[in-house]
Structure 1
Amino acid sequence: MDRRKFLTISAITAATAAAADGSKLGVWKTLGKLGEEDGATPVDGAKWYSAEAAGDGMAFEFKPGTLLRQRCLAADMLLDGRELAVFQITLGEGAKGRELTFRFGALNQCSFRMRLDLALVDQSQWMSDRDGAFLKPTFGGDRVDLAKVDRLAFTILRKGPQPVRWCMTDLRILPNLPPKLTEPVLPKGVLLDEFGQSVLLEWPAKTRTAEELKARIKGQLDAAPGQSWPEGFSKWGGWKARKLTEPTGWFRTKQQDGRWWLVDPDGYAFWSAGIDCVRVDVDARVDGIQAALKWLPELPEYADAVRNGDRQRSGSKTVNYLAANMIRALGREGWRDKWARITLAELKRLRFNTVGNWSEWEFAAKAAFPYVRPMSFRGTRCGMVYRDFPDVFHAAFEQDAAEYAAELKSTANDPALIGYFLMNEPTWAFSSELPAVGMLYNASICATRQELVRFLRGKYDSDAAISKAWNTAVVFDKVAQGKWQGVLPPEAMPDLRAFSAVMVERYFQTISKACRQVDPNHLNLGMRWQGVPEDWAVPGMKSFDVFSMNCYQEKVPAETVNKIHSLVKMPVMVGEWHFGALDVGLPASGIGHLKNQEDRGKAYRYYLEDAAAQPNCVGVHWFTLYDESALGRFDGENYNIGFLDVCNRAYEELGRAAISSHERMYTVAAGQDKPFADAPRHLPKLFL
């Protein structure tokens, strides 16, 4: 046995022993058609299981309070096969009580330690940090009381076409968080080749040699000067056949004859066909699993391709294989500017007219290519009251808002900027709880709770009055401070819903006003909501110019767009959508799942042209320019959602479809042509 193998086995054995501290959860009953297999496993003390369908798994029952004063549920696991599987743990209070869900995925052929931190059953966090092959652990459902939890289900939530096979040790209850795995088992060897491609999978367009890679990228650079938009596009990518206003120098919105448009700086109708993450971004997070790499970029030549830690994940390490491939082909000096020339030319070839969110927008600004820019409110002074919802009545909230808006100074006079997104999918909006409810449970004292008391005193003149209205014993002092204990009654929800509306309105109106003071020229594109906002949240959103939402359905639901328009009286833009497949070396398709690349092209046309035909929709932005890493990005997502792969190879089927739709989108939007109607068959979703 060589030294490396000996150390790996020793580390795994020690780690497994650490995970075995505590007690087994107990006997379980089979859910669905869960299968058990005998035989050796790569993980010491584990057993093989298989599942044919979502919902297959194990059900545990135990005495209420079994998990009380415990810190963690844990097991060591390894996912076999070559496709993503998503697991779910459900904790329940009684047969019909509240249920918390905990979801996670796994890298294939790499052992990991599943850890469910029981301190987070209060729903204070939506997602825990990725740990090696343990991918995107997220919380959902209800908050639960561990004193009442008496059942647990461990099931398959999502899977690919093949049965799921995995091995795992007994699920154990631990008084402390067990240590992370530092040397995972890799039964098939390395997982990524020297170009950042999967070693486990084969496909016809896989890049085989460095010479092939270099020739492709250098050829793209040589061809870049010849790429341009069609004759019918304005200098900004607008529609020269329809002029809506005199030139203003800025992007604007306009409703004409019942149809909403964006208007480009020269006054032409503009419909935003955008693509997100136009940046050198195929990061593979490798901390804890560096043994899964065939090649790690050497320093200093590949310094631009390696990052150690960031603001949110101090111990992380990522390798950007796209950057490494660009350096290989273009040299260490000036490669990023050359990448920008290649990429903006590719966008024009594909007839995109917008560089979308999360992009290296500075390159777009320099090239006068229309773009949007993202913003993110941090609230460093005021703090948060529930997940990422700030203490909006804190004395320093407006100062935080001013600091947040100050970022817009650099682009306030740039005509190529369409507008800015205030934020993206805030995690408080993913919760089943109202912001005011989450605040009562999670922020023991804050200025917004004091404002809630003033709000309630305006309606109730005594503790007795509010107790009667809420149908529970409550005093104003309990509302003012101290984490709420127990279940809030349904009778309290109308008041807490009304105050949540106050919170949201103050939040969005304050930051929108601050942004307008710094930048009066550009569009406020909203906050990229998921779906239709609740009615109580709408007043705060009327400070936007465009309502943005992320919509990962087969098409943009017209009823959703029209309802939003009726509520906020503004046009709608889709900030994210995509479709992927399993035929090009990625273990997961993405949120939309199709059979192959040809169907991805059909799905693109069907979605975009249907959206263009809707009079209240002014654009859709695809997520993302590049596939994600097969090893998983910062949180573990590893989807086939790009127009290009990690080796900068274009997906020609998708590209041809995009060109066709982008060249027709204006006539479709104007009602002169019918939208593409040959929708492909969508497969069960496979994503984290």
Structure 2
Amino acid sequence: MIRRSLIAIACAIPLWASAAGQQTLFNFVSPTDAVRVDLQHAVLPSLTGEDTSEGESLRRITFNPDELPSLRLTPQGGQWDWSQAGVMSLRIQNAMDWALTLLVKIESADGKVLTSRVALPAGPAQNLLVPLRATSPLAHGMRAAPPMPWSYQGKRTLLATSTEGALDPARVTAVTLSLENPQAAQSILVGRFGVREGDDVEQAAYAGLVDGYGQYTRLRWPEKVGSDEELKSAAAREREQLRKWLQERPKTDTYGGLLGGPRFEASNFFRTEKRDGRWYLVTPEGNPFYSIGVNTVSLGHSATYVEGREAMFDGLPKEGEALAAYYGQGDNRSGSGANRGRAFDHGRWFDFYSANLYRTYGKPACPEAPAGQPEATPGQAVTPPACESTLVDLDRWAALSLDRLQAWGFNTLGNWNDAPLREAARLPYTIPLSISGDYATISTGLDWWGGMPDPFDPRFAMAAERAIAIATRDHRDDPWLLGYFTDNELAWAGPGEGPRARYALAYGTLRLTTDVPAKRAFLKQLRDKYRNHEGLSAAWGIELPAWELLEDPGFEAPLPSPEHPAIEQDFQDFQRLFADTYFKTVVDSLKWHAPNHLLLGGRFASSTPEAVASCARYCDVLSFNFYTREPQQGYDFAALRELDKPVLIGEFHFGSRDRGPFWGGVQEVYKEEERGSAYANYLKKALAEPFIVGAHWFQYLDQPVTGRLLDGENGHLGLVGITDRPYQGFVTAVRKANLEAGKTLLTEAAKRAEAQPAAPAAERPQP
């Protein structure tokens, strides 16, 4: 182990030296003996500072390859009193040509620790500021924070926007700077270290983020608009391009099925079939269909809360102005994991996207009142035409959205699409069953959208019946309906890895009280197998004096072990029973209400082998949300091949942070120009798997810069921006990839057919 200590002596630095309340404790270039510097697998290679390109003198620190090379600062007097300060400050510059992630840890005498991970970009020096309390973008109502650094009081400033833990600021004992697992030596340059007063920096970092069009104010990009005239002229140019692209579309059957490939039996509804070793979706007319879809083609997900954080917005409309019609009220408070720790989750919101549609296309056209309509009598309310209260011309928006999707090579409306799009009968669509009710739930610790529904609870069966009856009511005989999703991203497993996550559903159930139906089902399964507590104790290797102790709330089952394989087997048996009961309940109801349509599975984000196998048993299609560079990185594909079931990718995307919204999505690329190539590669890899029958992009629109209403997500994930302008380079690349997909599928189908032995004439399928 390498460990060095430096106690430097030089001139003293005055405290609270600046008008902004800056207190300098130590300067690496001209150090004092007030601070002790300890180095672990790191070095100060020079005794003096070095001049930067901007003429500033800073001191180099080099972190050598190791698990956690670090520099630790401690006060010679034992502890610092930072109770009057708001942030720790450090003059810093990345000495490399690439970004580094710096781990900053601040400790106090009571054992509390405050930590922050800081993305340190390449470039000139800046003031790093770390708040002396826990904070995050969620405290400001959004998932991701504004990009750093930014100019604050004329200086390049890097604010640590996420800090975790706690601190006693009156008794600070150490500050540590570290890099995690550098594979080669990495260097930074540092200067003054200290603290400064107040929370004004964090307030300033979140002020004035959004302009009147809903765009981020501190960045420029090609599709950004500055006036209503730019919106209208861009829309006119796009119409010409769409007209050309629509004319160039390849010929398909009515529902988008591929022509010139294998023929299947026409059943008047979408179905699946395996031929020549490949699974296919089949259109109602009997042609192969590879579902390339888009999620959330909807007007209902573009608003953002403004109440209580008005300072973030420049140009919000005033009361009485036309655009004030796009304000509304909402409440998204919940205890789900997706919303945990988030502030500004209810109150007044504003819908920038709908407002921009109004700016671009004007008010919806209202039909004239029919001749001879009687006048209202005194005191009678006059009912205005419906369109007078409509804020967006739904027919115009739906027609344009469908033109775009078809021109860009998409053939499916994915989950969460609006009714006017479905009713246009231009693209096949999907519907979520959206089961909800007052049934019992089980926590797996993940609970992103809430606890797992308890399928043993009779109230769940009633809720499923009600939801399915509503979802299928107007679609029973619609050939355009591709199918139904049972749910979305249920928490079948827990967070993390290991048996606690793998069997989180079993562990969570055993912790509950016996008035929960799932626990009673689990106990019955164990009682039927072991008869009494002695049998269970021997099988699990535990001391269980009485069966009643297993029934107590909070019971903690042992971890699986090679010495007691029954533990894991019992967990698997229960989780299999749980999944079978869940999917069978849904399938039985759906077969009654919608016997002609496909059940597309559960859109797994977290899963267990038991849940996936059960879904394959009861559903027509398995569906996964694979947020990976390639689909094959999202799951054990060898296991999927053994199930021999068609698979639909319910969600994937690639985002970046250079078009306004601050979050790059679950699967992020470095810049906008990389999104198109990432999309094309993903689709190519999906086509290479003979059991994958389609992939759906998430989502149509960018999320609001300051976070969507549901959970504060604020990602640049869209084909279209908040101003309703498509990202031209991206959609061009997407269109090319989508059109190539059909050609690839037909070419591969021909090769597969040629490779099959010829069937006797009497057995050959007739067209």
Alignment correspondent of 1:8? none
- Partner of 1:627, secondary structure, is coil
Q: What is the one-letter code of the residue matched to 2:422?
A: A
Secondary structure at the residue paired with 1:372?
strand
Residues 642 and 239 of structure 1: CA distance in aligned 2, closer, same or farther (over 3 Å) = same
Report the counterpart of residue 341 of structure 1 in structure 2: 399
Partner Cα separation in structure 1 for residue 569 and residue 108 of structure 2: 35
2-structure distance, mates of 1:278, 1:251: 21
Kept after mapping to 1: 8 A contact 2:655/2:664: yes
1:526-545 counterparts in 2 under 5 A? Answer: 526-530=601-605, 533-535=608-610, 537-545=612-620
Q: What does residue 47 of structure 1 align with?
A: 88
Residue 419 of structure 1: how far off its partner (Å): 0.6
Structure 1 distance, partners of 2:412, 2:241, is: 21
Correspondence 1:203 to 2:221: yes
Distance 1:646 1:185, change over 3 A: same
Shift of 1:525: 0.5
Give the deviation of 1:608 after TM superposition.
Answer: 0.9
Alpha-carbon distance in structure 2 between the residues aligned to 1:282 and 1:37 = 48
Q: Does 1:576 align with 2:634?
A: no
Deviation at 1:182, TM superposition (A): 14
- Which residue in the other structure is 1:329 paired with? 360
Match of 1:214 in 2: 232
> In structure 1, how many angstroms separate the alpha carbons of the residues matched to 2:228 and 2:279?
48
* Separation of aligned partners in 2, 1:545 and 1:653: 36
Per-residue CA shift, 1:420-468, capped at 9, x if unaligned?
A: 1111111343431431211223556311111111101111122122122
- Aligned mates of 2:713, 2:740 — CA distance in 1: 33
TM-score by length of 1: 0.73
Indicate the residue corresponding to 1:638 in structure 2. 714
Aligned: 1:315 with 2:346: yes
Q: Which has the larger radius of gyration?
A: 2
Aligned to 2:589: 514
Counterpart in the other structure of 2:166? 172
- The AA in structure 1 aligned to 2:623 is S
Supply the distance in 2 between the matched residues of 1:171 and 1:246 (Cα, whole angstroms): 62
Matched, 1:409 2:473: yes
Contact 1:434–1:496, Cα closer than 8 Å, also in 2: no
Residues of 1 paired with 2:424 and 2:162: CA distance? 52
Deviations for 1:85-130, whole angstroms, at most 9, x for unmatched residues?
A: xxxxxxxxxxxxxxxxxxxxxxx999998479xxxxxxxxxxxx94
1:218/1:597 CA distance change after superposition, 3 Å: same
Asked whether the equivalents of residues 562 and 616 of structure 1 are also in contact (C-alpha less than 8 Å), the reply is: no
Task: Identify unmatched segments of 5+ residues in structure 1.
Answer: 1-27, 68-72, 84-107, 117-128, 138-157, 175-180, 675-688
Q: 1:79 to 1:610 in 2, by over 3 A?
A: closer
Aligned to 2:310: 290
Deviation, structure 1 residue 533: 4.2
Give the conservation status (yes or no) of the 8 Å contact 1:373–1:419.
yes
| Equivalent AA in structure 1 for residue 486 of structure 2 | L
Question: What is residue 35 of structure 2 aligned with on the other side?
Answer: none
Cα pair 2:216 2:661 within 8 Å, conserved: yes
Match of 2:297? 278
Equivalent in 422, 441, 453 of residue 364 of structure 1: 422
> Partners of 1:572 and 1:169 in 2: how far apart?
40
Task: Provide the C-alpha distance between the structure 1 equivalents of 2:588 and 2:243, rounded to a whole number of angstroms.
Answer: 41
Distance in 1 between the 2:108 and 2:206 partners?
Answer: 36
Higher mean C-alpha deviation, range 479-488 or range 522-531: 479-488
Give the Cα separation in 1 of the matches to 2:162 and 2:732. 45
Among the aligned pairs, what percent are the same residue?
A: 25
Q: Partner of 1:618: helix, strand, or coil?
A: strand
1:390 matched residue in structure 2: 453
Tell me, in whole angstroms, the C-alpha distance in 1 between the residues paired with 2:162 and 2:688.
50
- d(CA) in 2 for partners of 1:342, 1:623: 19
Could you tell me how far apart the structure 2 residues matched to 1:356 and 1:340 are? 15
* In structure 2, C-alpha distance between the alignment counterparts of 1:451 and 1:354, rounded to whole Å: 40
- Runs of 5+ in structure 2 lacking a partner? 1-37, 41-67, 76-81, 123-127, 150-155, 169-198, 335-344, 365-391, 496-500, 751-767
Letter in 1 for 2:346: G
1:439 and 2:509 aligned = yes
Residue 542 of structure 1 and its aligned partner are, at CA, apart by 1.2
Task: Render the CA deviation track for 1:554-600: whole Å, top value 9, x for unaligned.
Answer: 22218957435434321111111111233323323223333433322
**Does residue 593 of structure 2 align to residue 593 of structure 1?**
no
Deviation larger for 583-592 or 47-56: 47-56
Aligned residues: 574
Q: CA deviation at 1:298?
A: 4.9
Q: In the TM superposition, what whole-angstrom CA distance separates every residue of 1:183-210 from its partner, at most 9, and x where no partner exists?
A: 9712474000001110122223321212
Deviations 1:593-624 (A, max 9, x none): 33433322112211112212321111011111
CA distance in 2, matches of 1:569, 1:271: 17
**Rounded Cα–Cα distance in structure 1 between residues aligned with 2:281 and 2:319:** 46
How far apart, in 1, do the equivalents of 2:317 and 2:114 lie? Answer: 34
1:305 aligns with 2:352: no
Shift of residue 664 of structure 1? 1.9
Select which of 204, 210, 213 maps to 1:186: 204
Matched position secondary structure for 2:349: strand
Moved more, 443-452 or 418-427: 443-452
> Superposition RMSD on alpha carbons, in Å?
4.2
Q: 1:359 to 1:61 in 2, by over 3 A?
A: farther
Task: Determine if the alignment matches structure 1 residue 669 to structure 2 residue 745.
Answer: yes
